[in-house]
Amino acid sequence: MTRVPADTGKRPYAHLAEHLTALRHAARLPQRALAQAASISRGTVQRAESGTAAPTPAVLAAYVRACRGREEDLDRARLLLARGRTAQRDRLRDIGAPHPTLIHTAGDLGAALAAAYEQAGAPPLRSLNLRDQTRLPLTTASRIVKRTVLPATVEQMVTFLTACKVPPAQQRPYIDAYHRITRNRRTRPAPPRARRTSQRVHPGTLTHYDTAALAAGLKTFAAAIGRMDVSPEKFAPGVEAALAVSRSLDQEAHRNGRSLSEHLAAGLENVARALPRYRPPAW
Protein backbone atom coordinates (compact mmCIF):
# COMPACT_ATOMS: atom_id res chain seq x y z
CA MET A 1 0.00 0.00 0.00
CA THR A 2 1.40 3.38 -1.01
CA ARG A 3 1.07 6.12 1.57
CA VAL A 4 0.72 9.78 0.71
CA PRO A 5 3.77 11.62 2.09
CA ALA A 6 3.02 13.63 5.22
CA ASP A 7 4.81 16.77 4.07
CA THR A 8 2.39 18.66 1.84
CA GLY A 9 4.30 21.96 1.78
CA LYS A 10 5.99 21.29 -1.56
CA ARG A 11 3.17 19.24 -3.06
CA PRO A 12 0.58 21.56 -4.61
CA TYR A 13 -1.75 18.64 -5.38
CA ALA A 14 -1.49 17.03 -1.94
CA HIS A 15 -5.22 17.35 -1.16
CA LEU A 16 -6.12 15.87 -4.52
CA ALA A 17 -3.74 12.98 -3.88
CA GLU A 18 -5.38 12.32 -0.51
CA HIS A 19 -8.82 12.36 -2.12
CA LEU A 20 -7.82 9.93 -4.88
CA THR A 21 -6.04 7.61 -2.48
CA ALA A 22 -9.08 7.53 -0.21
CA LEU A 23 -11.28 6.57 -3.18
CA ARG A 24 -8.92 3.76 -4.14
CA HIS A 25 -8.81 2.44 -0.59
CA ALA A 26 -12.60 2.56 -0.34
CA ALA A 27 -12.77 0.50 -3.56
CA ARG A 28 -10.24 -1.98 -2.07
CA LEU A 29 -8.04 -1.72 -5.16
CA PRO A 30 -4.24 -1.88 -5.21
CA GLN A 31 -2.53 0.51 -7.59
CA ARG A 32 -1.91 -2.17 -10.23
CA ALA A 33 -5.56 -3.27 -10.31
CA LEU A 34 -6.72 0.33 -10.48
CA ALA A 35 -4.38 1.01 -13.38
CA GLN A 36 -5.82 -1.95 -15.28
CA ALA A 37 -9.40 -0.95 -14.56
CA ALA A 38 -8.77 2.66 -15.63
CA SER A 39 -6.65 1.68 -18.69
CA ILE A 40 -3.73 3.79 -17.48
CA SER A 41 -0.24 2.88 -16.37
CA ARG A 42 0.70 2.20 -12.77
CA GLY A 43 3.20 5.04 -13.02
CA THR A 44 0.34 7.39 -13.86
CA VAL A 45 -1.51 6.22 -10.76
CA GLN A 46 1.58 6.75 -8.63
CA ARG A 47 2.10 10.27 -9.97
CA ALA A 48 -1.54 11.16 -9.35
CA GLU A 49 -1.21 9.98 -5.75
CA SER A 50 2.14 11.70 -5.20
CA GLY A 51 0.64 15.17 -4.95
CA THR A 52 3.47 16.72 -6.96
CA ALA A 53 2.00 16.48 -10.46
CA ALA A 54 -1.42 17.20 -11.92
CA PRO A 55 -3.25 14.36 -13.64
CA THR A 56 -4.99 15.27 -16.86
CA PRO A 57 -8.79 15.65 -16.76
CA ALA A 58 -9.11 12.38 -18.71
CA VAL A 59 -6.90 10.49 -16.23
CA LEU A 60 -8.81 12.02 -13.34
CA ALA A 61 -12.15 10.88 -14.74
CA ALA A 62 -10.82 7.36 -15.50
CA TYR A 63 -9.36 7.07 -12.00
CA VAL A 64 -12.63 8.01 -10.28
CA ARG A 65 -14.69 5.72 -12.53
CA ALA A 66 -12.36 2.80 -11.83
CA CYS A 67 -12.90 3.40 -8.12
CA ARG A 68 -16.67 3.34 -8.73
CA GLY A 69 -16.82 6.90 -7.46
CA ARG A 70 -19.90 9.07 -7.66
CA GLU A 71 -20.30 12.27 -9.67
CA GLU A 72 -19.77 14.19 -6.45
CA ASP A 73 -16.40 12.48 -6.05
CA LEU A 74 -15.38 13.54 -9.54
CA ASP A 75 -16.54 17.12 -8.93
CA ARG A 76 -14.50 17.18 -5.73
CA ALA A 77 -11.47 15.86 -7.59
CA ARG A 78 -11.80 18.57 -10.24
CA LEU A 79 -12.10 21.25 -7.58
CA LEU A 80 -8.96 20.00 -5.81
CA LEU A 81 -7.17 19.84 -9.15
CA ALA A 82 -7.98 23.51 -9.76
CA ARG A 83 -6.84 24.47 -6.27
CA GLY A 84 -3.61 22.59 -6.78
CA ARG A 85 -3.01 24.40 -10.04
CA THR A 86 -3.59 27.71 -8.25
CA ALA A 87 -1.09 26.76 -5.56
CA GLN A 88 1.44 25.65 -8.15
CA ARG A 89 1.24 28.90 -10.12
CA ASP A 90 1.32 30.97 -6.90
CA ARG A 91 0.22 34.23 -8.54
CA LEU A 92 -2.64 35.36 -6.32
CA ARG A 93 -0.37 37.27 -3.95
CA ASP A 94 1.14 39.26 -6.82
CA ILE A 95 -2.30 40.13 -8.19
CA GLY A 96 -3.44 41.63 -4.90
CA ALA A 97 -7.12 41.64 -5.86
CA PRO A 98 -9.69 43.19 -3.52
CA HIS A 99 -12.78 41.34 -2.42
CA PRO A 100 -15.44 41.68 -5.16
CA THR A 101 -17.58 43.87 -2.88
CA LEU A 102 -14.66 46.31 -2.52
CA ILE A 103 -14.08 46.95 -6.24
CA HIS A 104 -13.89 50.70 -6.92
CA THR A 105 -11.71 51.20 -9.99
CA ALA A 106 -11.06 49.57 -13.34
CA GLY A 107 -7.77 48.31 -11.91
CA ASP A 108 -9.61 46.68 -9.01
CA LEU A 109 -12.02 44.97 -11.39
CA GLY A 110 -9.21 43.76 -13.65
CA ALA A 111 -7.37 42.32 -10.64
CA ALA A 112 -10.54 40.64 -9.35
CA LEU A 113 -11.16 38.97 -12.72
CA ALA A 114 -7.55 37.80 -12.95
CA ALA A 115 -7.83 36.41 -9.42
CA ALA A 116 -11.02 34.53 -10.33
CA TYR A 117 -9.13 32.97 -13.24
CA GLU A 118 -6.27 31.90 -10.98
CA GLN A 119 -8.63 30.51 -8.35
CA ALA A 120 -10.25 28.40 -11.08
CA GLY A 121 -6.88 26.80 -11.73
CA ALA A 122 -6.01 28.90 -14.77
CA PRO A 123 -8.01 26.79 -17.25
CA PRO A 124 -7.05 26.86 -20.94
CA LEU A 125 -8.35 30.07 -22.49
CA ARG A 126 -10.17 28.14 -25.22
CA SER A 127 -12.27 26.45 -22.53
CA LEU A 128 -13.68 29.79 -21.37
CA ASN A 129 -16.34 29.78 -24.10
CA LEU A 130 -19.32 27.85 -22.81
CA ARG A 131 -22.42 26.66 -24.60
CA ASP A 132 -25.36 29.07 -24.38
CA GLN A 133 -23.04 31.89 -23.29
CA THR A 134 -21.91 35.04 -25.09
CA ARG A 135 -18.76 34.30 -27.05
CA LEU A 136 -15.52 35.57 -25.51
CA PRO A 137 -12.78 36.05 -28.17
CA LEU A 138 -9.52 34.31 -27.32
CA THR A 139 -7.51 37.53 -27.58
CA THR A 140 -9.93 39.31 -25.26
CA ALA A 141 -9.75 36.49 -22.72
CA SER A 142 -5.96 36.64 -22.81
CA ARG A 143 -5.95 40.40 -22.24
CA ILE A 144 -8.42 40.09 -19.37
CA VAL A 145 -6.17 37.54 -17.69
CA LYS A 146 -3.18 39.85 -18.23
CA ARG A 147 -5.21 42.79 -16.86
CA THR A 148 -4.72 44.95 -19.95
CA VAL A 149 -8.44 45.25 -20.81
CA LEU A 150 -11.85 44.71 -19.26
CA PRO A 151 -14.57 42.65 -20.97
CA ALA A 152 -16.26 44.60 -23.75
CA THR A 153 -19.73 43.86 -22.36
CA VAL A 154 -21.36 42.58 -19.19
CA GLU A 155 -22.28 39.42 -21.11
CA GLN A 156 -18.62 38.74 -21.88
CA MET A 157 -17.77 39.18 -18.20
CA VAL A 158 -20.51 36.75 -17.18
CA THR A 159 -19.09 34.22 -19.65
CA PHE A 160 -15.63 34.71 -18.14
CA LEU A 161 -16.84 34.39 -14.54
CA THR A 162 -19.03 31.36 -15.28
CA ALA A 163 -16.12 29.58 -16.95
CA CYS A 164 -14.04 30.40 -13.86
CA LYS A 165 -16.63 28.59 -11.73
CA VAL A 166 -17.92 31.73 -10.03
CA PRO A 167 -21.54 30.89 -9.09
CA PRO A 168 -24.22 33.24 -10.49
CA ALA A 169 -25.13 34.38 -6.97
CA GLN A 170 -21.54 35.58 -6.46
CA GLN A 171 -21.30 37.43 -9.78
CA ARG A 172 -23.45 40.39 -8.74
CA PRO A 173 -20.62 42.46 -7.17
CA TYR A 174 -18.60 42.13 -10.39
CA ILE A 175 -21.58 43.17 -12.52
CA ASP A 176 -22.41 46.16 -10.31
CA ALA A 177 -18.78 47.30 -10.38
CA TYR A 178 -18.65 46.92 -14.16
CA HIS A 179 -21.73 49.11 -14.63
CA ARG A 180 -20.38 51.72 -12.23
CA ILE A 181 -16.92 51.86 -13.83
CA THR A 182 -18.09 51.91 -17.45
CA ARG A 183 -20.70 54.56 -16.66
CA ASN A 184 -17.98 56.78 -15.21
CA ARG A 185 -15.84 56.20 -18.29
CA ARG A 186 -18.61 57.32 -20.61
CA THR A 187 -19.15 60.58 -18.75
CA ARG A 188 -15.50 61.42 -18.16
CA PRO A 189 -14.16 64.27 -20.39
CA ALA A 190 -11.85 63.30 -23.20
CA PRO A 191 -8.11 63.99 -22.72
CA PRO A 192 -6.99 67.40 -24.06
CA ARG A 193 -5.15 65.96 -27.07
CA ALA A 194 -8.08 63.80 -28.15
CA ARG A 195 -10.48 66.70 -27.69
CA ARG A 196 -8.39 69.02 -29.93
CA THR A 197 -8.23 66.41 -32.66
CA SER A 198 -11.99 65.76 -32.59
CA GLN A 199 -12.64 69.48 -33.07
CA ARG A 200 -10.32 69.99 -36.04
CA VAL A 201 -10.39 66.81 -38.08
CA HIS A 202 -13.41 65.66 -39.98
CA PRO A 203 -14.47 62.27 -38.53
CA GLY A 204 -13.27 60.15 -41.43
CA THR A 205 -11.27 56.96 -41.67
CA LEU A 206 -8.12 58.24 -43.37
CA THR A 207 -5.89 57.02 -40.56
CA HIS A 208 -7.01 53.46 -41.27
CA TYR A 209 -5.63 53.49 -44.83
CA ASP A 210 -2.22 52.27 -45.91
CA THR A 211 -0.48 55.54 -46.80
CA ALA A 212 2.18 53.78 -48.89
CA ALA A 213 -0.48 52.16 -51.04
CA LEU A 214 -2.34 55.46 -51.32
CA ALA A 215 0.82 57.21 -52.44
CA ALA A 216 1.46 54.56 -55.09
CA GLY A 217 -2.06 55.01 -56.38
CA LEU A 218 -1.64 58.76 -56.60
CA LYS A 219 1.59 58.37 -58.55
CA THR A 220 -0.15 56.06 -61.00
CA PHE A 221 -3.03 58.51 -61.26
CA ALA A 222 -0.66 61.37 -61.98
CA ALA A 223 1.15 59.40 -64.69
CA ALA A 224 -2.13 58.39 -66.29
CA ILE A 225 -3.36 61.98 -66.47
CA GLY A 226 -0.18 62.97 -68.28
CA ARG A 227 -0.86 60.40 -71.01
CA MET A 228 -4.56 61.04 -71.44
CA ASP A 229 -5.90 63.29 -74.18
CA VAL A 230 -8.76 64.61 -72.05
CA SER A 231 -9.56 68.14 -71.08
CA PRO A 232 -7.98 68.84 -67.65
CA GLU A 233 -11.07 70.79 -66.62
CA LYS A 234 -12.79 67.47 -65.92
CA PHE A 235 -10.21 66.67 -63.27
CA ALA A 236 -9.96 70.12 -61.73
CA PRO A 237 -12.60 69.87 -58.96
CA GLY A 238 -11.38 66.50 -57.67
CA VAL A 239 -7.70 67.45 -57.76
CA GLU A 240 -8.29 70.78 -56.04
CA ALA A 241 -10.35 69.04 -53.34
CA ALA A 242 -7.67 66.39 -52.80
CA LEU A 243 -4.93 69.00 -52.47
CA ALA A 244 -7.05 71.08 -50.11
CA VAL A 245 -7.66 68.05 -47.89
CA SER A 246 -3.96 67.26 -47.94
CA ARG A 247 -3.07 70.82 -46.94
CA SER A 248 -5.61 70.69 -44.09
CA LEU A 249 -4.27 67.37 -42.87
CA ASP A 250 -0.71 68.67 -43.03
CA GLN A 251 -1.64 71.70 -40.92
CA GLU A 252 -3.46 69.51 -38.41
CA ALA A 253 -0.49 67.14 -38.21
CA HIS A 254 1.82 70.09 -37.56
CA ARG A 255 -0.43 71.37 -34.75
CA ASN A 256 -0.37 67.95 -33.09
CA GLY A 257 3.37 67.48 -33.39
CA ARG A 258 3.21 64.95 -36.23
CA SER A 259 3.97 64.98 -39.95
CA LEU A 260 2.33 63.42 -42.99
CA SER A 261 3.85 60.30 -44.43
CA GLU A 262 6.65 61.11 -46.86
CA HIS A 263 5.14 58.64 -49.29
CA LEU A 264 1.77 60.35 -49.12
CA ALA A 265 3.32 63.79 -49.61
CA ALA A 266 5.33 62.55 -52.61
CA GLY A 267 2.23 61.09 -54.21
CA LEU A 268 0.28 64.32 -53.83
CA GLU A 269 3.21 66.29 -55.22
CA ASN A 270 3.17 64.12 -58.35
CA VAL A 271 -0.51 64.92 -58.84
CA ALA A 272 0.24 68.61 -58.46
CA ARG A 273 3.05 68.51 -61.05
CA ALA A 274 0.79 66.65 -63.48
CA LEU A 275 -1.75 69.47 -63.42
CA PRO A 276 0.25 72.65 -62.71
CA ARG A 277 -2.48 75.03 -63.88
CA TYR A 278 -4.84 73.71 -61.16
CA ARG A 279 -2.33 73.76 -58.36
CA PRO A 280 -3.72 76.08 -55.62
CA PRO A 281 -1.57 79.23 -55.23
CA ALA A 282 -1.19 78.73 -51.45
CA TRP A 283 0.24 75.23 -51.89
C-alpha 182/C-alpha 167 separation (Å) is 23
Name which of 34, 120, 36, 131 is nearest 84 in CA terms.
Answer: 120
Helices 71-89 and 106-119 pack at an angle, to 10 degrees, of 120
pLDDT over threshold 90, residue 22: yes
In sequence order, the 6+-apart residues with CB closer than 8 A to the CB of 133 are 155, 158, 159, 162, 163
Average pLDDT over residues 188-201: 44
C-alpha 149/C-alpha 165 separation (Å) is 21
pLDDT over threshold 80, residue 250: no
Residue-wise pLDDT tens digits, 207-234: 444 555 556 666 666 666 666 655 556 6
Predicted local confidence at residue 216, as pLDDT = 63
User: Are the beta carbons of 63 and 78 closer than 8 angstroms?
Assistant: no
C-alpha 84/C-alpha 13 separation (Å) is 5
Residue-wise pLDDT tens digits, 38-79: 999 999 999 999 999 889 989 999 999 999 999 999 999 988
- Percent of the chain residues topping a pLDDT of 90: 44
Q: How confident is the model at residue 171 (pLDDT cuts 50, 70, 90)?
A: very high
Q: pTM for this structure? A: 0.55
C-alpha 88/C-alpha 54 separation (Å) is 10
pLDDT over threshold 70, residue 193: no
User: Are the beta carbons of 97 and 111 closer than 8 angstroms?
Assistant: yes
User: Are the beta carbons of 180 and 158 closer than 8 angstroms?
Assistant: no
Average pLDDT over residues 236-265: 60
Residue-wise pLDDT tens digits, 83-142: 898 888 888 888 999 999 999 999 999 999 999 999 999 888 888 877 777 888 989 999
